[in-house]
Structure 1
Amino acid sequence: MLISLILGSLVGAVLGLTGAGGGILAVPVLVIGMGLPMQQATPVALIAVAGSAAIGALEGFRQGLVRYRAALLMAVAGVPLTSLGVKLAHILPQRVLLTLFALTMLVVAGRLLRQALGAKRGVARTSSLWVGRVNPETGRLVWSWRVGLALASTGAVTGLLTGLLGVGGGFVIVPMLRKFTDVSMHGIVATSLMVIALVGTCGMLVALAAGARTPFELTLWFSATTALGMAGGRCASRSLSARHVQIVFGSALVCVALGLLVKARLGA
């Protein structure tokens, strides 16, 4: 029980510090720290991450940061793919799932470390791929078919990974919104949390309907401490350097990914 409390707090703190990408740690800590198989760890992780993301999204709503139309479009596009991901997760062997998860973590870690180590202070964020821009007069996102396609594609990838690996998907949503829109970083994170809450809840329900079994007491305490950890992480994020947080988080992802690869190699 104590281990689940510590691990839940850790996942929540990282989720709060990184804004939306910390949910990728939920499944690995349950697999490595609690000894759960991937198929059982996935719904537990989704319950914890979706609940914590919902709390963050509500805070974003109060501050007027959530782009709810964009979030709803991504969620609608992601939900059907979530069901496909859950079906694949029940078909694929444990070793294959662990390897896929580890490779995903390494890709995310590489992007974070490259971004953090190559960051230049004082340089305005720009992208040649921006298809969605915020109208400075209304503060609203200007919609077009290209914006809709970019957001729907982002939601579809998020939904597939949510069902397959039990991740929140913030590590997909945040960089894609940064690449395709000029929405502020605070708005991107708040919008991402809403998508994670919606798609994660759907993924959890689909996994449970497919026969996944979750230990009730572990799920309850892990979810509660994840939510508390996220609140603490969001408070701490205001006084910590985003660049340093990215470096530490990316390095942690590399270590956890290597641990998953070793576990997969040894036969899970």
Structure 2
Amino acid sequence: MIEWLMYLVLGAAMGTLGGIFGIGGGLIAIPVLALFFNLDQQLAQGTALVMVVPNILLAMWRYHQRTPINFFQALPLAAGGLVCAGLASMIAVGLDPNAMRIGFAVFMLVLAAYNYTQMFLPKAAGSGEVRARWPALLALGGGSGVLGGFFGVGGSVLATPVLTSVFGASQVAAQALSLALAAPSTGITLVTYALHHHVNWLMGIPMAVGGLVSVSWGVKVAYRLPERTLRTLFCLFLVLCAGLLALKH
């Protein structure tokens, strides 16, 4: 019972962060599970996905209530993500866990540096509308799906900065659209990891319940923060996650 309460609280914390950053909480849950619960990389990713999938669905709905998602733009993103996440996850379940962990940490550091430098480069103000045709969105969905399938994070960590810096969307609009991309890709990735026995359901289910309770509050916080503050916190969040992973031996 005490363990379930601990997982519930952990899920609530991850759900709050997932709502704030539009990422489903997986980026922080994976290193926490790997470092403090001694799960190998694939098992940590699969277990985190049990929480991430429902969190993403709820967060997407909450974002859509405030910033309606253009589903004609979301469709190519989601389609590319679904196909590529399915293929990537089938490869990921057979890779060396240590190599995956290091690759994940490096990816997060690169992503944090990219996001941070983008804040200081001149660009047009985010309009909330994505200025891209469907082939570009399909390609972005595919690339994001590959990352999501390998690392169990839904791919929104790549899609969000690209949508803001390349396609002109505001931060919250990009996060909302990224969640629409992440929903099907995380679902297929969870199925793949589960079929290969890389999911601890006894940990994942209470984490999912805690996340569902708190994710809506995280979305409310995201809409109250200035965009530069939101981006800075996101970068610090990525660096922290990379550091946690690097500490695991």
Give TM-score scaled by structure 1 length: 0.80
Q: Distance in 2 between matches of 1:248 and 1:172?
A: 16
> Out of 196, 199, 215, which is 1:214 matched to?
199
> Out of 106, 115, 139, which is 1:103 matched to?
106
What secondary structure is seen at the aligned counterpart in 2 of 1:257? helix
The aligned residue for residue 189 of structure 1 is 175
What secondary structure is seen at the aligned counterpart in 2 of 1:167? coil
Superposed, which structure 2 residues align to 1:119-198 within 5 Å?
A: 124-125=124-125, 133=131, 147-198=133-184
Q: Which residue identity does 1:244 align to in structure 2?
A: T
What secondary structure is seen at the aligned counterpart in 1 of 2:133? helix
Cα 1:149–1:89 change in 2 (3 A) is same
The aligned residue for residue 241 of structure 2 is 256
The aligned residue for residue 47 of structure 2 is 44
Cα 1:198–1:88 change in 2 (3 A) is same
- Could you report, residue by residue, the CA deviation over 1:248-267 in whole angstroms, capped at 9, with x for unpaired residues? 3422322331231232xx3x
Cα 1:94–1:251 change in 2 (3 A) is same
> Out of 2, 5, 10, which is 1:7 matched to?
10
The aligned residue for residue 79 of structure 2 is 76
Q: Distance in 2 between matches of 1:49 and 1:159?
A: 15
Residue 213 of structure 1: how far off its partner (Å): 4.0
> Out of 180, 189, 192, which is 1:203 matched to?
189
Give the number of the structure whose alpha-carbon radius of gyration is greater: 1
- Could you report, residue by residue, the CA deviation over 1:38-91 in whole angstroms, capped at 9, with x for unpaired residues? 121222222212211111222344456111122221221122221222222222
Contact 1:66 1:188 survives alignment (8 Å): no
> Out of 3, 21, 27, which is 1:24 matched to?
27
Cα 1:40–1:25 change in 2 (3 A) is same
Contact 1:47 1:200 survives alignment (8 Å): no
Consecutive unaligned residues in structure 1, runs of 5 or more: 134-145
Cα 1:47–1:58 change in 2 (3 A) is same
- Could you report, residue by residue, the CA deviation over 1:19-53 in whole angstroms, capped at 9, with x for unpaired residues? 33753222112212322211212222222122111
Residue 220 of structure 1: how far off its partner (Å): 0.9
- Could you report, residue by residue, the CA deviation over 1:88-135 in whole angstroms, capped at 9, with x for unpaired residues? 22222111010011011111221233345x378xx84279xxx963xx
Over the residues paired in the alignment, what is the CA RMSD in angstroms?
2.7
Cα 1:64–1:251 change in 2 (3 A) is closer
Cα 1:236–1:53 change in 2 (3 A) is same
What secondary structure is seen at the aligned counterpart in 2 of 1:91? coil
Moved over 4 A (4+): none
Q: Distance in 1 between matches of 2:168 and 2:233?
A: 26
Give TM-score scaled by structure 2 length: 0.86
- Could you report, residue by residue, the CA deviation over 1:1-27 in whole angstroms, capped at 9, with x for unpaired residues? 244233222221111112337532221
> Out of 70, 89, 92, which is 2:92 matched to?
89
What secondary structure is seen at the aligned counterpart in 1 of 2:224? coil
**How high is the sequence identity, in percent, across the aligned residues?**
26
Residue 222 of structure 1: how far off its partner (Å): 0.7
Contact 2:8 2:210 survives alignment (8 Å): yes
Consecutive unaligned residues in structure 2, runs of 5 or more: none
Residue 241 of structure 1: how far off its partner (Å): 3.5
Contact 1:65 1:186 survives alignment (8 Å): no
Q: Which residue identity does 2:125 align to in structure 1?
A: R
